[in-house]
């Protein structure tokens, strides 16, 4: 197993995988080298794959008010993104851009679905682990929403600041 693959195997997504199961599944991924500044996927675009980041750093962002882009997260290798699209094939929920020369491994939904329909054990374990990860992310999002509602004055002040920044951006764009 190569050094990048050893790091990837440590991801939550591969928890409980034997070495042969991991090797079998990882062989279904294709490898891509991405240069700095390249957009890997765009918010709202069709999504049909899962990405593993084996080298580099990725910026996850979302367009706000049609003008500015808000950074949601940064992912450093080893990491993963695109889980939701692998499961539902829906639109991308954010834009992912390389912040450095990066290496990604890509698993398409078509290949994944064929593995699942063939009762591939590794594909089933992957689905279970993705479900676990998405459940944790949902719980964290729920906690953040609860925090926003439990501190209404603080939330209002943060919204006022964001509103002022948007207005300022619009004024600059109109000049």
> Does 1 score more than 60 pLDDT?
no
pLDDT of residue 175 exceeding 80, the answer is: no
What pTM was computed for the model?
Answer: 0.76
Question: In this structure, which long-range contacts are made by residues 21-26, counting pairs with CB atoms below 8 Å and at least 24 apart in sequence?
Answer: 21/121, 21/122, 21/125, 22/122, 24/120, 24/122, 25/115, 25/120, 25/122, 25/123, 25/126, 26/105
User: pLDDT per residue over 7-57, tens digit each?
Assistant: 888 888 899 999 999 999 999 999 999 999 999 999 989 988 999 999 999
pLDDT classification of 174: cutoffs 50, 70, 90: low
Residues 75-102 have a mean pLDDT of: 91
| Proportion of the chain above pLDDT 70, given as a percent | 92
Give the mean pLDDT of 123-127: 89
| CATH architecture of the domain with range 3-139 | Sandwich (2.60)
Q: What is the mean pLDDT of the chain?
A: 86
């Amino acid at each position: 197993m190569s050094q990048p693959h050893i790091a990837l195997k440590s991801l939550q997504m591969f928890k409980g995988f034997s070495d042969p199961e991991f090797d079998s599944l990882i062989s279904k991924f294709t490898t891509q080298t991405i240069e700095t500044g390249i957009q890997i996927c765009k918010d709202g675009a069709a999504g049909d794959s899962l990405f593993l980041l084996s080298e580099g750093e990725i910026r996850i962002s979302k367009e706000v008010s049609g003008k500015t882009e808000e950074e949601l997260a940064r992912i450093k290798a080893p990491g993963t993104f695109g889980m939701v699209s692998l499961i539902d094939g829906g639109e991308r929920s954010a834009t992912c851009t390389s912040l450095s020369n990066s290496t990604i491994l890509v698993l398409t939904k078509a290949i994944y679905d064929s593995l699942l329909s063939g009762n591939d054990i590794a594909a089933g374990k992957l689905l279970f682990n993705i479900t676990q990860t998405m459940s944790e992310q949902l719980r964290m999002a729920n906690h953040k929403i609860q925090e926003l509602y439990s501190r209404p004055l603080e939330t209002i002040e943060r919204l006022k600041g964001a509103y002022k920044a948007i207005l300022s951006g619009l004024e600059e764009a109109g000049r």
